[in-house]
Structure 1
Amino acid sequence: MLPTLGGHRLYLRHIIPSDVDALLGVYADPKTMRFAADPVFTDTTMMQKMLQSVACLYASGESFEWAIVLKESGLLIGTCGLHSFNTARNQCEVGCLLGSAYWGKGLMQEALSTLIPYAREIGIQRLLADIDQQNLQARRFFIKQGFQLQGDNGFWLALV
């Protein structure tokens, strides 16, 4: 099981099967999912399949996905994780999704600030973020986090 990582207002914890309804609340929001690689989730069956995939990818070491949870209320408001590791396992992608109701409050910045030290701890030296060109809000966010455009491939790179 992934370690729980603590921030000031939130913590990151292992995603569990009982998160299905809370995660559906995030993944069913068209505004939240506008630039996501996945379609808007329409029912719990889709969410359960995603949770099975998350569990399988974690078991194989291919992906580590955390739930973003507010400390004060215990409310799950998004996800963030590390995936697509290179062969040397010193580079990977960071992925994050935050419910639109929580945008603009510094919560994703706090989540990444909580996740990055763990990434360093497991040997990650470079993080990549695959950001849709039209997602200007995410581009600005990742620039503020120290990411820079890498070549013409649309990936943003940060040295950890």
Structure 2
Amino acid sequence: MDFPILNTSHILLDQLTPADSMALFELFSNQSVIKYYDLEAMTELTQANNLITLFNSRFNENKGIRWAIRLKESNELIGTCGFNSWNAKMQSAVIGYDLHPDYWGKGYVTDAVNCIVKAAFAGKLACNIHRIQADTVLGNAASEAVLLKVGFKEEGIRRHSGYWKNQFHDLKCFGLLKTEFKYQ
């Protein structure tokens, strides 16, 4: 299957390439972006290259998919989004996303998440998806707002279910079923 290219009126979602290394490095070296993320801030460009390789290997091995979020008018990479993993047998996927702070509060992530959820539920990806799950670290109100706008339901808190940056994290679980999604 070819890498699916998606778009909305404002953004283009396509595959990350080595040419995106510097923009990805700027994204993931920003402390604001990784505040709730399970990785440390990048300090070397090679880390961005390795992340691009990881994201693309997930797609090539049919384990998940990660899109670049680009502004349509300039093709500038401003973030990423996708399914960190999926389980074909269970018809489920785990979603994730990030965005450069210069573009927060403008609706780009909500637009991107809505777009990829719509593609997943419409059968445009490599496996059937019936349920999409998202986890947020407690206190990440902006991410929770995105999920709720797209139609995710809060399902509860999983205590100490994450461990990174030398501490346990409670994660708030959100879920969205294909039968609940309202196509926009």
Give yes or no for TM over 0.5: yes
Counting only pairs closer than 5 Å after superposition, residues 1-160 of structure 1 correspond to structure 2 as: 1-88=2-89, 90-120=91-121, 121=123, 122=125, 123-153=128-158, 154-160=172-178
Give the Cα separation in 2 of the matches to 1:134 and 1:92.
23
Instruction: Report the 3-state secondary structure (helix = DSSP H, G, I; strand = E; otherwise coil) of the residue aligned with 1:65.
Output: strand
Give the superposition deviation at 1:89: 5.0
Question: How far apart, in 1, do the equivalents of 2:58 and 2:146 lie?
Answer: 27
Higher helix share: 1
Deviates more, 1:31-40 or 1:80-89: 80-89
Shift of residue 76 of structure 1? Answer: 0.4
Worse overlay, 7-16 or 132-141: 132-141
CA–CA separation in structure 2 for the residues paired with 1:31 and 1:78:
13
Q: What code does the residue aligned with 1:155 have?
A: C
Pair member with larger Rg: 2
Deviations 1:23-73 (A, max 9, x none): 111111111111111211112011111122122222211120100000111
Q: Residue 95 of structure 2 aligns to a residue in which SS?
A: strand
Quote the Cα distance in structure 1 between the aligned partners of 2:23 and 2:156: 37
Q: Select between 62-71 and 129-138 the one with higher mean Cα deviation.
A: 129-138
Distance change in 2, residues 1:144/1:117 (3 Å): closer
- RMSD of the alignment, in Å? 1.4
1:78-131 per-position Cα deviation (integer Å, ceiling 9, x unaligned): 000113212415110111011111010011111112211211113211111111
For residues 88 and 111 of structure 2, the distance between their equivalents in structure 1, rounded to whole angstroms, comes to: 29
Alignment gaps of 5+ in structure 1: none
CA distance in 2, matches of 1:53, 1:19: 14
Of structures 1 and 2, the one with the larger relative CO (CA 8 A, separation 6+) is 1
TM-score between the two structures when normalised by the length of structure 1: 0.93
Name the SS of the counterpart of 2:43 in structure 1.
coil
Secondary structure, aligned partner of 2:96 = strand
